[in-house]
């Protein structure tokens, strides 16, 4: 990780997300709030580490909407605030953001949307550029870490001048690239705000007031389009070429190199403010070429708008891209995507023989076993999944967003749904209503706080019969262990009141609430069977800390457990362990199953799985009771 | 110094120190004043998932992703994950590979045959790499004091391969800087063992 506080005028290797954090510090940030989500998380992680030292405030909020409202409240009180979220998190926040555009702000505010083309760690690959126009907020798109840092400063400046929040849109390959970044002076610090609306109806959006503010927003956007947007573009390449490339964001970095590699005589228009677009800049560019090739990931956002501009400026220009079938709409781009698209568009041969590479490498790849993501060794979710498979085999399993989504894999298959944050309980409501059959909704603790509680209330009030299993490790584990309202500390590193899930569930009116250590397989199975028999809503809280944290805790306590071993005399090679528990530490030798000591965390949960008691501790191993649940 | 273009992939499974390994290379690159761009994917599967990070050095590099067939150095902490980089490996690639196969547990369930290390080597050779260097990084790491420093053993081996466009000692200096106090000496010892293993006649 880069040093976020390195001195000005030096170069530091920064992740795109760290560059955004640093940029906001250079722009005088006072307050930031976010909910973690890949690929946006490291912005908050970086701020969390330095907040105390700089006197600024950072929190991991309960969800993206609340994070936005926290940042809004601070900006309405005259401070400089930031919120950031993954693309689907933005959906959660939009209810607040749409109207925020009308309301405007008193200080300055920046909202970062980190999109995930290719859905590397997401449930979809939605293109949040559409939001900028739909909401009516200016959008800037960086194409590398340096630009990310610099644009955040610009964004705060524009926000301060026009009193509207500014959107920054990154994509995974921007968020998660590291480059040397030249640093500026940090000006962030504590801010004392005052909530004093300039006009009495400034923040009262309804009817005539909303319409007045809508007109005001449109006026501001017009001015930004005329005077600000034309500052954020560049044109490169051969000025006299009649082949133009229109691009933005990370796609620019692929286009730039691809053109050079293909030795193509072309010029590139790289747009940095992608809403509102600098119409005249695009129009003049289109007038200067006969063909314009659009390189952008996901939707034909620039392509459609270029076509609209061309109607007035250059009606004869050929615009090629996704709509003409030259470029794909699904997945992320690479230089190869661009080279292949350029070959189709211009007829020039690709400088790389991809067919030959594909032929040669596919022969190798067909022999390489796939390695799908897998639950870590000792993961408590593995034990919960094992018990669910055995005790609730025939139920409809409605899963949610978190590591436990991996329970969709064999041998567990206890996730038939992964949809949106908190959706498991809501969807479970509907499936229970429609089928009257056993429904198990699985949800993590952080996800439960985020959006699961209203759905649980709905289930109780509407007399649904369903079982909810809350996988509680008292932390947001998947994104790297950020605290949530159930944790006893916060993002500033301070002690914080932990909201108890059991209390929340009971107060909603659920009378069957059981807390079980998932490592206790017999107890967990018994509880699941009991819960499924209940009328109404039953809740099982599967509580144990994330195994990665157990390892750290035991090391801290000076009592790391030795790996477990397999007694070769007792192992009958029945493969029950492999076919029902599938810990990554298991090694199938062809005659017995062994445990790889470099992988085994020493949890011992698997000892309960072997029908022949062949999995045994060695000297220095701790059993799961001795380890404690840690939370 | 001036590097036109040099592309590196470090691959392995989550938990092997892949990001740390690349951090060291990035630090060395920064200290030499070279331009570079590095890319990685975060999220899900903190342990034992397929992990790869890539770094491109060069005055004019801008794409964070390497183009197929243009890899110069592959450091793989796990052999199957090395093979998974096949589309990038070509006649210009030096491959430095650990010999310890970590079979994916799903392969056992699906009964997908797991190639032996000899088969891995044959498959890698079919891609005609410029050089193929293998070593027992875990054994050397244990010799240094702890199997968890297998990643720095691989770094030492990578330096000794002579493929990196760095002056002698640059990587070791960077390792010193990036290592935590606690692991510094252990890391340097592991690095030297990796370097020696490759420098010796093979």
Domain ranges of chain B: 6-199
How many structural domains compose chain A? 4
Q: Do A410 and B90 touch (CB under 8 A)?
A: no
pLDDT by residue (tens digit) across A379-410? Answer: 999 999 999 999 999 999 999 999 999 999 99
What is chain A's mean pLDDT, rounded?
97
CA distance A173 to chain B (A): 7
pLDDT by residue (tens digit) across A266-276? Answer: 999 999 999 99
Task: Give the H or E element holding residue B86.
Answer: none
**Residue B45 predicted with pLDDT over 60:** no
End-to-end CA, chain B: 31
User: By the CB < 8 Å criterion, does B118 face chain A?
Assistant: no
d(CA A602, CA A596): 11
Q: Do A596 and B63 touch (CB under 8 A)?
A: no
**Residue A14 predicted with pLDDT over 70:** yes
CATH topology of domain B6-199: Pyruvate-ferredoxin Oxidoreductase; domain 3 (3.40.920)
In a domain, A178, yes or no: yes
Cis peptide before A12 (omega within 30 of 0): no
CA distance A285 to chain B (A): 23
Q: What is the mean pLDDT of residues A73-91?
A: 98
In a domain, A565, yes or no: yes
Mutate to test the interface with A, among B3, B52, B78, B105 (most CBs of A within 10 A): B105
Residue A334: C-alpha distances to residues A163, A384, A400, A619, B76 (Å): 37, 40, 31, 51, 22
**Residue given tokens 């028999």 in the structure block:** A533
Nearest to A319 by CA among A356, A367, A361, A286: A286
User: By the CB < 8 Å criterion, does B46 face chain A?
Assistant: yes
User: By the CB < 8 Å criterion, does A374 face chain B?
Assistant: yes
Return the residue of B nearest to A1 by Cα. Answer: B23
The alpha carbon dihedral of B125, B127, B131, B137 has a sign of negative
CATH number for the domain harbouring residue A408: 3.40.50.970
Residue A55: C-alpha distances to residues A26, A189, A193, A429, B165 (Å): 14, 5, 14, 45, 43
Q: What is the mean pLDDT of residues A594-622?
A: 96
- A45 and A163 both lie in a single domain: yes
User: By the CB < 8 Å criterion, does A543 face chain B?
Assistant: no
Q: What is the pLDDT of residue B3?
A: 86
Q: What is the pLDDT of residue B41?
A: 75
Q: Do A578 and B106 touch (CB under 8 A)?
A: no
Q: Do the Cβ atoms of A59 and A492 come closer than 8 Å?
A: yes
In a domain, A82, yes or no: yes
User: By the CB < 8 Å criterion, does B202 face chain A?
Assistant: no
ipTM of the complex: 0.96
User: By the CB < 8 Å criterion, does B45 face chain A?
Assistant: yes
Please identify among residues 104-133 of chain A the ones whose CB lies closer than 8 Å to any CB of chain B. 120-121
Q: Do B115 and A368 touch (CB under 8 A)?
A: yes
Q: Do the Cβ atoms of A39 and A172 come closer than 8 Å?
A: yes
Q: What is the pLDDT of residue B2?
A: 79
Q: Give the per-residue SS3 of A200-258.
A: CCCCCCCHHHHHHHHHHHHHHHHHHHHHCHHHCEEEEECCCCCEEEEEEHHHHHHHHHH
d(CA B199, CA B160): 6
d(CA B75, CA B151): 10
User: By the CB < 8 Å criterion, does B111 face chain A?
Assistant: no
Of B63, B81, B105, the CB nearest to A254: B63
Q: What is the pLDDT of residue B198?
A: 92
Q: In chain A, which residues have their Cβ closer than 8 Å to the Cβ of B64?
A: 144, 173, 177, 250, 253
Nearest to A71 by CA among A221, A191, A175: A191
Q: Do the Cβ atoms of A543 and A630 come closer than 8 Å?
A: no
CA distance B65 to chain A (A): 7
What residue spans of B57-183 are helical by DSSP H? 79-83, 105-110, 117-125, 137-144, 150-160, 170-178
Q: Of the residues A551, A586, A601, which one is the last residue of a structural domain?
A: A551
Return the residue of B nearest to A378 by Cα. Answer: B47
- A201 and A120 both lie in a single domain: yes
**Residue B76 predicted with pLDDT over 70:** yes
Measured in whole angstroms, the distance separating CA A96 from the mean position of its chain's CA atoms is 19
User: By the CB < 8 Å criterion, does A180 face chain B?
Assistant: yes
Q: What is the pLDDT of residue A430?
A: 98
Q: What is the mean pLDDT of residues A540-556?
A: 95
Of A143, A335, A584, the CB nearest to B67: A335
In a domain, A625, yes or no: no
Q: What is the pTM of this model?
A: 0.97
Structure tokens at B160: 């000794």
- A239 and A279 both lie in a single domain: yes
Confidence band of B44 (pLDDT split at 50, 70, 90): low
The angle formed by the CA atoms of residues A409, A410 and A416, to the nearest 5 degrees, is 50
**Helix, strand, coil % in chain B, rounded to nearest 5:** 45, 15, 40
Task: Give the H or E element holding residue B36.
Answer: strand B36-40
Mutate to test the interface with A, among B13, B26, B43 (most CBs of A within 10 A): B43
- A240 and A308 both lie in a single domain: yes
Q: What is the pLDDT of residue B83?
A: 98
CA distance A423 to chain B (A): 19
User: By the CB < 8 Å criterion, does B86 face chain A?
Assistant: yes
CATH number for the domain harbouring residue A608: 3.30.70.20
Residue A589: C-alpha distances to residues A444, B38, B49, B110 (Å): 35, 38, 21, 15
d(CA A76, CA A99): 13
- A256 and A403 both lie in a single domain: no
Q: Do B38 and A179 touch (CB under 8 A)?
A: yes
Q: Do B104 and A358 touch (CB under 8 A)?
A: no
Structure tokens at B180: 């935590």
Q: Do the Cβ atoms of B47 and B78 come closer than 8 Å?
A: no
d(CA A143, CA A252): 7
Q: What is the mean pLDDT of residues A505-520?
A: 98
Q: Do B43 and A120 touch (CB under 8 A)?
A: yes
- A540 and A579 both lie in a single domain: no
CA distance A111 to chain B (A): 21
Q: What is the pLDDT of residue A592?
A: 97
Structure tokens at A355: 């067919």
**Residue B43 predicted with pLDDT over 90:** no
Q: In A264-370, which ranges are E strands?
A: 267-271, 273-275, 291-295, 318-320
Across the A/B interface, how many CB contacts are shorter than 8 Å? 192
Q: Of the residues A227, A262, A286, which one is the last residue of a structural domain?
A: A227
Q: Do A599 and B108 touch (CB under 8 A)?
A: no
Q: What is the dihedral of CA B128, B131, B136, B138, to 10 degrees?
A: -90
Q: Do A365 and B147 touch (CB under 8 A)?
A: no
**Residue A289 predicted with pLDDT over 70:** yes
User: By the CB < 8 Å criterion, does B101 face chain A?
Assistant: no
- A498 and A529 both lie in a single domain: yes
**Residue given tokens 């990035």 in the structure block:** B26
Q: What is the mean pLDDT of residues A446-457?
A: 98
pLDDT by residue (tens digit) across B114-131? Answer: 999 999 999 999 999 999
Q: What is the mean pLDDT of residues A219-234?
A: 98
Q: What is the mean pLDDT of residues A328-340?
A: 97
Q: What is the mean pLDDT of residues B33-55?
A: 85
DSSP string covering A162-177: HTS-EEEEEEHHHHTE
- A432 and A498 both lie in a single domain: yes
d(CA A278, CA A223): 11
Confidence band of B46 (pLDDT split at 50, 70, 90): low
- A326 and A399 both lie in a single domain: no
What is chain B's mean pLDDT, rounded?
94
- Where b means 16+ CB within 10 Å and e means fewer, A562-571 reads ebbbbeeeeb
Structure tokens at A575: 């493969």
Q: What is the pLDDT of residue A247?
A: 98
- A601 and A472 both lie in a single domain: no
Residue A493: C-alpha distances to residues A90, A445, A590, A596, B117 (Å): 26, 20, 49, 36, 47
Nearest to A11 by CA among B58, B30, B123, B114: B30
**Residue A190 predicted with pLDDT over 80:** yes
Structure tokens at A473: 């490790």
Q: In chain B, which residues have their Cβ closer than 8 Å to the Cβ of A369?
A: 80, 103-104, 106-107, 110, 112-114
- A423 and A342 both lie in a single domain: no
**Residue B200 predicted with pLDDT over 70:** no
Domain hosting A444: range is: 380-551
CATH number for the domain harbouring residue A287: 3.40.50.920
**Residue A538 predicted with pLDDT over 80:** yes
Nearest to B132 by CA among B160, B95, B101: B95
Q: In chain A, which residues have their Cβ closer than 8 Å to the Cβ of B60?
A: 257, 260
Q: What is the pLDDT of residue B199?
A: 81
Q: What is the mean pLDDT of residues A575-595?
A: 96
Residue A614: C-alpha distances to residues A136, A327, A358, A585, A589 (Å): 64, 56, 45, 15, 15
In a domain, A336, yes or no: yes
Confidence band of A2 (pLDDT split at 50, 70, 90): confident
Q: What is the pLDDT of residue B1?
A: 72
Q: Of the residues A196, A227, A258, which one is the last residue of a structural domain?
A: A227
Please identify among residues 206-265 of chain A the ones whose CB lies closer than 8 Å to any CB of chain B. 250, 252-254, 256-257, 260-261
Q: Do A257 and B37 touch (CB under 8 A)?
A: no
**Residue B5 predicted with pLDDT over 80:** yes
- A497 and A434 both lie in a single domain: yes
**Residue B42 predicted with pLDDT over 70:** no
Q: What is the mean pLDDT of residues A8-36?
A: 97
User: By the CB < 8 Å criterion, does A594 face chain B?
Assistant: no
Q: What is the pLDDT of residue B48?
A: 84
Q: In chain B, which residues have their Cβ closer than 8 Å to the Cβ of A589?
A: none
Confidence band of A543 (pLDDT split at 50, 70, 90): very high
d(CA A410, CA B200): 45
- With both helix axes pointing from N to C terminus, report the angle between B170-178 and B184-199 in degrees, rounded to the nearest 10: 150
In a domain, A364, yes or no: no
Of B43, B48, B114, the CB nearest to A479: B43
Of A180, A371, A374, the CB nearest to B30: A180
**Helix, strand, coil % in chain A, rounded to nearest 5:** 40, 20, 40
Measured in whole angstroms, the distance separating CA A436 from the mean position of its chain's CA atoms is 34
Return the residue of B nearest to A255 by Cα. Answer: B63
φ/ψ (deg, to 5) at A539: -125, 125
Q: What is the pLDDT of residue A560?
A: 86
DSSP string covering A463-489: T--EEEEEEE-SSBTTTT-B--TTSSB
**Residue B202 predicted with pLDDT over 70:** no
Q: What is the pLDDT of residue B102?
A: 94
Q: In chain B, which residues have their Cβ closer than 8 Å to the Cβ of A177?
A: 37-39, 64
Of B27, B63, B90, the CB nearest to A257: B63
In a domain, A193, yes or no: yes
Nearest to A389 by CA among A442, A426, A447: A442
């Amino acid at each position: 990780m880069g040093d976020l506080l390195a001195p000005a005028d030096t170069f530091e290797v920064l992740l795109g997300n760290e560059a955004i954090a640093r940029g906001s510090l250079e722009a005088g940030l006072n307050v930031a709030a976010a909910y973690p989500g890949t690929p946006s998380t490291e912005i908050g992680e970086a701020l969390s580490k330095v907040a105390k030292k700089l006197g600024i405030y950072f929190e991991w909020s309960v969800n993206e909407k609340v994070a936005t409202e926290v940042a809004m409240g601070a900006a309405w009180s005259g401070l400089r605030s930031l919120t950031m979220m993954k693309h689907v998190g933005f959906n959660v926040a939009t209810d607040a953001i749409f109207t925020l555009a009308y309301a405007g702000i008193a200080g300055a505010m920046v909202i970062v949307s980190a999109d995930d083309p290719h859905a590397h760690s997401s449930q979809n690959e939605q293109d949040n550029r559409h939001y900028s126009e739909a909401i009516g907020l200016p959008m800037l798109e960086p194409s590398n870490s340096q630009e990310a840092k610099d644009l955040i400063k610009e964004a705060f400046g524009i926000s301060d001048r026009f009193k509207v929040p500014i959107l920054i849109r990154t994509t995974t390959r921007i968020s998660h690239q590291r480059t040397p970044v030249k640093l500026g002076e940090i000006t962030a610090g504590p801010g004392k705000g005052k909530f004093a609306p300039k006009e009495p109806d400034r923040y009262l959006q309804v009817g005539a007031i909303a319409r007045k503010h809508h007109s005001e927003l449109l006026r501001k956007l017009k001015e930004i389009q005329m005077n600000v947007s034309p500052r954020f573009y560049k044109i490169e390449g051969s000025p006299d070429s009649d082949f133009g490339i229109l691009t933005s964001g990370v796609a620019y970095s692929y286009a730039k190199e691809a053109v050079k590699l293909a030795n193509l005589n072309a010029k590139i228009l790289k747009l940095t403010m992608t809403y509102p677009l600098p119409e005249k800049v695009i129009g003049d560019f289109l007038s200067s070429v006969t063909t314009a090739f659009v390189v952008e990931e996901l939707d034909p956002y620039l392509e459609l708008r270029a076509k609209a501009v061309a109607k007035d400026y250059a009606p004869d220009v050929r615009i090629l891209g996704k709509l003409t079938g030259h470029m794909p709409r699904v997945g992320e781009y690479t230089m190869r995507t661009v080279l292949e698209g350029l070959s189709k568009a211009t007829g020039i041969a690709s400088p790389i023989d991809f067919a030959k590479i594909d032929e040669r490498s596919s022969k190798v790849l067909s022999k390489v076993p796939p390695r799908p993501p897998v639950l870590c060794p000792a993961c408590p979710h593995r034990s919960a999944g094992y018990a669910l498979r055995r005790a609730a085999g025939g139920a409809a399993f409605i899963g949610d967003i978190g590591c436990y989504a991996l329970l969709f894999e064999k041998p567990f298959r206890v996730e038939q749904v992964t949809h949106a944050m908190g959706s498991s309980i809501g969807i479970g409501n509907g499936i229970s209503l429609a089928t009257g059959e056993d429904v198990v909704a699985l949800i993590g603790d952080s996800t439960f706080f985020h959006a699961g509680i209203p759905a649980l209330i709905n289930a109780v009030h509407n007399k649904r019969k369903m079982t909810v299993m809350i996988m509680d490790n008292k932390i947001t584990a998947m994104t790297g262990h950020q605290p949530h309202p159930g944790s006893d500390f916060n993002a500033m590193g301070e002690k914080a009141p932990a909201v108890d899930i059991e209390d929340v569930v009971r107060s909603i009116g659920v009378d069957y609430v059981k807390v079980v250590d998932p490592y206790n397989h017999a107890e967990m199975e018994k509880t699941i069977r009991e819960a499924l028999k209940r009328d109404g809503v039953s809740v099982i809280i599967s509580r144990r800390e994330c195994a990665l944290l157990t390892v750290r805790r035991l090391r801290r306590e000076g009592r790391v457990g030795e790996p477990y071993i397999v007694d070769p005399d007792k192992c009958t090679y029945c493969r029950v362990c492999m076919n029902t528990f599938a810990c990554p530490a298991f090694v199938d030798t062809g005659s017995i199953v062994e445990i790889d000591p470099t992988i085994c965390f020493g949890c011992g949960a698997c000892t309960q799985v072997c029908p022949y008691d062949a999995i045994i501790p060695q000297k220095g191993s701790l059993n799961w009771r001795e380890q404690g649940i840690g939370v | 110094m001036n590097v036109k273009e040099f592309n590196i992939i470090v691959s392995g499974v989550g938990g092997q120190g892949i990001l740390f390994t690349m951090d060291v290379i990035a630090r060395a690159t920064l200290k030499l004043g070279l331009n570079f761009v590095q890319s990685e994917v975060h999220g899900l599967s903190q342990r034992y998932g397929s992990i790869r990070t890539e770094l491109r050095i060069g005055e004019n590099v801008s794409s964070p992703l390497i183009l197929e067939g243009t890899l110069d150095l592959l450091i793989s902490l796990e052999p199957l994950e090395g093979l998974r980089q096949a589309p990038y490996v070509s006649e210009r690639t030096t491959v430095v590979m650990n010999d310890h196969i970590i079979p994916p547990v799903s392969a056992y369930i699906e009964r997908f045959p797991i190639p032996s290390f000899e088969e891995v080597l044959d498959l890698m050779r079919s891609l005609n790499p410029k050089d193929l260097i293998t070593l027992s990084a875990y054994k050397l790491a244990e010799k240094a004091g702890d199997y968890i420093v297998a990643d720095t053993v691989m770094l030492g081996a990578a330096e000794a391969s002579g493929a990196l466009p760095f002056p002698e000692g640059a990587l070791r200096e960077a390792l010193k800087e990036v290592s935590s106090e606690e692991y510094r000496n252990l890391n340097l010892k592991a690095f030297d063992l990796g370097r020696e293993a490759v420098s010796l006649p093979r």
